[in-house]
Amino acid sequence: MWGIMKHKLGARGLSTPVFGDYMQRLRPIASAIRFRPYSSATKQMTVRDALNSALDEEMAADSDVFIMGEEVGEYQGAYKISKGLLDKYGPDRVVDTPITEAGFTGIGVGAAYHGLKPVIEFMTFNFAMQAIDHIINSAAKTNYMSAGKINVPIVFRGPNGPAAGVGAQHSQCYGAWYGSVPGLKVLVPYSSEDARGLLKAAIRDPDPVVFLENELLYGESFPVSAEALDSSFSLPIGKAKIEREGKDVTITAFSKMVGYALKAAEILEKDGINAEVINLRSIRPLDRATINASVRKTNRLVTVEEGFSQHGVGAEVCATVVEDSFGYLDAPVERIAGADVPTPYAANLERLAFPQIEDVVRAAKRACFRSVPMAANA
């Protein structure tokens, strides 16, 4: 908002009165892109390149956007997401920081208060716990506490959830934590198109956005349409995507688990079960409408996530469906989640601590036939 204020009003900066809603309406609405039937020359793009190109284009379009984090500059990004950006935009807009998540998050929030649009990178969201006071108390709540006078157009992004063999303090999923905070928007891209569209939307959004990526997805390639490659492309925040249509059971998932759910759906197809896979894309706001419409169609629900089950995203999806579509459920909701343990390191143990494709398949079968007894609950 302040970025636009400055451009309209010149160098008078903060001493100008707030024009509030009037100005906000003039901002390009990110969700205006409607899907037109383009003939898509299916180009393949890795999630890494998708994120990098999205950052590049948004920084080129708006000089208030800048990146801050550890290793984002000279090192080209801990996961090379910000590759080439330091050379292109200079150290003022790609800022390497000392090791203090609390420090650089607080500083980023302060810059956002004043009108810049920071994209704060956490090397993983595990480290963001050091900064969570700033994310929640200084960013999420400020627009409300300041009675709408100070908005915080900031994006917090980085890898979330388990990678491979990185142990307990590098593997936690924070979707449920941030998803419970009013004032935040929480996005969870899966494919490259998701990554591009949602990151662009996040950067343009006047509210604070937590953008949870996945380290193992960075190197994965997905087809992207010509429309998605356009620099004005963005996806609406708060809309889930139906990755695969089906009529027998709804499987909701986000991030890497979408891939697992799709593979599980292929296996289920062979057994005559037609699964509908929903890619949540947005944990907050949660697309309750799409989830419920799907369950009203299929009458069965399986939720999949890598995070811990208690108070998890699946719990919220389940509650949503029970509240809105109880009469439509033909089976109890199946919740597939990570084991309730700090992540072990040994590869065999780690594999057992997180959902695998077979777990999703078995859960869907239980929801459909209830032929296999459900696991005992504590």
Partner 1 sequence: MASSCFSKSKTIIMRNLKSKNFFMLGFINHTYSITNLQFPRHLLHTISSPPLPVSNYASSSPYNYSIAFSRCFASVYGGRRLNTATSVRNSVDQLSTEAPLQQDLDFPGGRVKFTPKPVFTSSSTEERTPCYRVLNDNGQPILDGDSVKISKELAVKMYTNMVTLQVMDTIFYEAQRQGRISFYLTTIGEEAINIASAAALNYNDFVFPQYREPGVLLWRGFTLQDFADQCFGNKNDNGKGRQMPIHYGSRKHNYFTVASTVGTQIPHAVGAAYSLKMEKQDACTVTYFGDGGSSTGDFHAALNFAAVMEVPVIFFCRNNGWAISTPINDQLRSDGIVVRGKAYGVPSIRVDGNDALAIYSAVHKARKMAIEEQTPVLIEALTYRAGHHSTSDDSTKYRPVDEIERWRGDQNPLKRFRKWIETKGWWSDEAESEHRNGIRKQLSQAIQAAERVEKPPISDIFNDVYDIPSKNLTEQEAFLRRTIQKHAQDYPSNVPM
The DSSP secondary structure of 169-233, one letter per residue, reads GG----HHHHHT-TT-EEE---SHHHHHHHHHHHHH-SS-EEEEE-GGGTT-EEEE-HHHHSTT-
Binds partner 1 (CB under 8 A): choice among 7, 8, 88, 114: 114
Give CA–CA dist 130/132, Å, rounded: 6
CB of 182 to partner 1, least distance (A): 5
CB of 10 to partner 1, least distance (A): 11
Binds partner 1 (CB under 8 A): choice among 53, 151, 234, 252: 151
Those residues whose C-beta lies under 8 Å from the C-beta of residue 26, and which sit 6 or more positions away, are: 4
**276 SS3 class:** strand
Q: Is 190 in the site for partner 1 (CB under 8 A)?
A: no
Give how far Cα 147 sits from Cα of 14, 17, 20, 58, 143, Å. 17, 15, 11, 28, 6
Binds partner 1 (CB under 8 A): choice among 23, 56, 84, 106: 106
Does 323 qualify as catalytic in the annotation? no
Give CA–CA dist 157/346, Å, rounded: 28
Binds partner 1 (CB under 8 A): choice among 26, 41, 88, 144: 144
Binds partner 1 (CB under 8 A): choice among 28, 36, 39, 92: 92
Q: Is 69 in the site for partner 1 (CB under 8 A)?
A: no
Confirm if 353 and 344 have CB atoms less than 8 A apart. Answer: yes
- Give me the residues paired with residue 66 across strands: 118
Task: Give the number of residues in contact with partner 1, rule: CB under 8 A.
Answer: 56
Instruction: Write down the residue that tokens 């008078």 correspond to.
Output: 12
Binds partner 1 (CB under 8 A): choice among 7, 88, 149, 247: 149
Binds partner 1 (CB under 8 A): choice among 205, 305, 334, 350: 205
95 vs 199 by CB, closer to partner 1: 95
Q: How many CB atoms lie within 10 A of CB 64?
A: 20
Binds partner 1 (CB under 8 A): choice among 77, 206, 246, 259: 206
Q: Which of 250, 246, 238 has the alpha carbon at shortest distance from 292?
A: 250
CB of 234 to partner 1, least distance (A): 15
Does 170 qualify as catalytic in the annotation? yes
Give the x/- contact pattern for partner 1 in 216-255, rule: CB under 8 A: ----------------------x-----------------
What amino acid is encoded at 370 in this protein? R
CB of 133 to partner 1, least distance (A): 6
30 vs 357 by CB, closer to partner 1: 30
Instruction: Write down the residue that tokens 């992540």 correspond to.
Output: 343
Q: Is 84 in the site for partner 1 (CB under 8 A)?
A: no
- Contact region with partner 1 (CB under 8 A), list: 196-204, 227-235, 286-294, 362-370: 286-294
41 vs 289 by CB, closer to partner 1: 289
CB of 111 to partner 1, least distance (A): 4
CB of 38 to partner 1, least distance (A): 29
Binds partner 1 (CB under 8 A): choice among 9, 23, 115, 362: 115
* Element at 66 (helix H, strand E): strand 65-69
The alpha carbon dihedral of 356, 359, 364, 365 has a sign of: positive
Q: How many CB atoms lie within 10 A of CB 73?
A: 22
- Contact region with partner 1 (CB under 8 A), list: 47-55, 246-254, 280-288, 292-300: 280-288
Among 57, 58, 101, 121, the active-site one is 101
Query: Residues with catalytic annotation?
Result: 101, 170
Binding residues (CB under 8 A) for partner 1: these are 1, 6, 11, 13-15, 17-18, 24, 66, 92, 95, 97-98, 100, 102-116, 118, 133-134, 137-138, 142-151, 182-183, 185, 205-207, 238, 285-286, 288-289
